[in-house]
A = this chain, B = another copy of it.
């Protein structure tokens, strides 16, 4: 079970949102300082540990989560057990649903994860009162849609080499966006996760990493630490 970290007592509420490190990157950045304490009151911090499911696609529920620390994968399962990872999510990203019905994917923690959990109904009420909130959610959902459309192109047309190259490129860009080190980069997810994300197999992913090493486009600091030697060449490989 997820762990509720702090009770919503007044002290905690006063500082939780105002001191939140990911606020500049999450949808709550649209709120004014004075609204934050109130907003903290409608959310609760929840912690998840490695490989713990945050929710399943089959769950009935309307909860929205904001990642404050760690990484999350969202995925869909096919009947026969095949898995497709829809996306990797990072601090500042949100996921879940504020509508009734089943979720469109399952969500699982990669390593330790800290989240802000919102009830969909409560969030909807807030949107009614504060139009800026729905505008910001519209903005961020539109950005998500753009990312999803780019992924459609990757999975529909790119070769294994191109998929791997664009994966590394995109991780690096994402790190830069939230002001983290963008080279070298650490990969929090396993090779199997990368394969399930790129529509490949673990063997192919491994081979492509080896190829990138051999052509010295990248250098492996460790299994999960990549240093990009030649950004130009990497970008070319992305097509």
Contact = CB atoms under 8 A, between A and B. Distances in A.
Interface of A: 76, 78-80, 82-84, 86-87, 99, 104-105, 127-128, 131, 134-135, 137-138, 141-142, 144-146, 148-153, 155-157, 196-199, 239
Contact of A145 (B76, B145, B156): B145
Given A104-B146, A131-B131, A145-B145, A84 B138 contact: no
10 A-B pairs closest in CB distance: A156-B199, A131-B131, A155-B155, A148-B148, A84-B153, A138-B138, A84-B156, A84-B157, A155-B156, A104-B146
B157 A199 contact: yes
A104 B153 CA distance: 11
Number of copies of this chain that the complex holds: 2
A137 B136 CA distance: 12
Contacts of A141: 138, 141-142, 145
Nearest to A97: B142
A146 B145 CA distance: 9
A157 B127 contact: no
Contact of A76 (B134, B148, B153, B196): B153
A177 to B, nearest CB: 16
A155 B104 contact: no
Contacts of A150: 76, 104
Contacts of A80: 239
Contact of A152 (B86, B99, B142): B86
30 contacts: A76-B149, A76-B153, A78-B153, A78-B239, A80-B239, A82-B157, A84-B153, A84-B156, A84-B157, A86-B149, A86-B153, A87-B149, A104-B149, A104-B150, A105-B149, A128-B131, A131-B134, A134-B135, A137-B138, A138-B138, A138-B141, A141-B141, A141-B142, A144-B145, A148-B152, A152-B155, A155-B156, A156-B197, A156-B199, A157-B199
